[in-house]
Structure 1
């Protein structure tokens, strides 16, 4: 199933990059769970599409670029580059009009030819710093 898992995971770009509702229904199972989504976010194809729409509302020109991927068994892992301009509320931070450019890792589980689970790992601290929401301080060496 590894090739099928990777092919399906790659199709998820049609949902997030293109906001394609037809693709969401075609590739995402009704029982889909997004483990990265905030509590209370609906599951299934429309829940994942709703998350994509929310991100696009917070970031103009939101784009996920494929960098690397692999699969094993019923799982596919994608490493992506996310770029966009922060133009709307994101995680409680109002629009900064700043560009963001971070890497993300997404894991998809496939069952019966559909994506049924998603886990995402993002560089949120770096993104918040790029948005101007926080300041990152380099670590200091301990005193001798």
Structure 2
């Protein structure tokens, strides 16, 4: 059996539930600070499409991101609300909570607690995560931190309360 055939066999052996569970287990890295999980779950050639262009790749880079986030946000948690997988991809809808205790993207520490939704997508190959994408409600995060307090121009005005 060639290496390519062996790789295809291992990839095909993963069920949708296996792929979903690998994505769910990624929470160990951010929620628990489990850096060994990063090396166990994240491929060496892993690409985090949320990272700035030219950022380091692989398990150590992902563990560094988790370490940074856990330093910025006291009591940081990513609670999985929904999850599913099909083929080599898994999707997680999570609620992120935490209290900002350090500078975050240019916003000085506010001490404020936040609660925002994220959607994370993972692609799995050979039992490891090889790609990650995310959609976060950053506008709501900025609103909760007090960095954004203006409605979007042209947005409907809220109805007056009775």
Give the TM-score normalised by the residue count of structure 1: 0.93
CA RMSD of aligned residues (A): 1.2
What does residue range 30-109 of structure 1 map to in structure 2 within 5 Å?
30-109=44-123
Q: TM-score, normalised by structure 2?
A: 0.83
Residues 10-55 of structure 1, C-alpha deviation per residue, up to 9 Å, x if partnerless? 1101001011111111111000000011233211011111111111
| Alignment gaps of 5+ in structure 1 | none
Match of 2:129 in 1: 115
Structure 2 CA distance for aligned equivalents of residues 24 and 92 of structure 1 = 27
1:65 aligned counterpart, secondary structure: strand
The number of aligned residues is 141
Deviation track 1:68-125 (CA, whole Å, cap 9, x = no partner) reads 0111100000000000001111111111111100010000000011001000110000
Write 1 or 2 for the structure with the bigger share of strand.
1
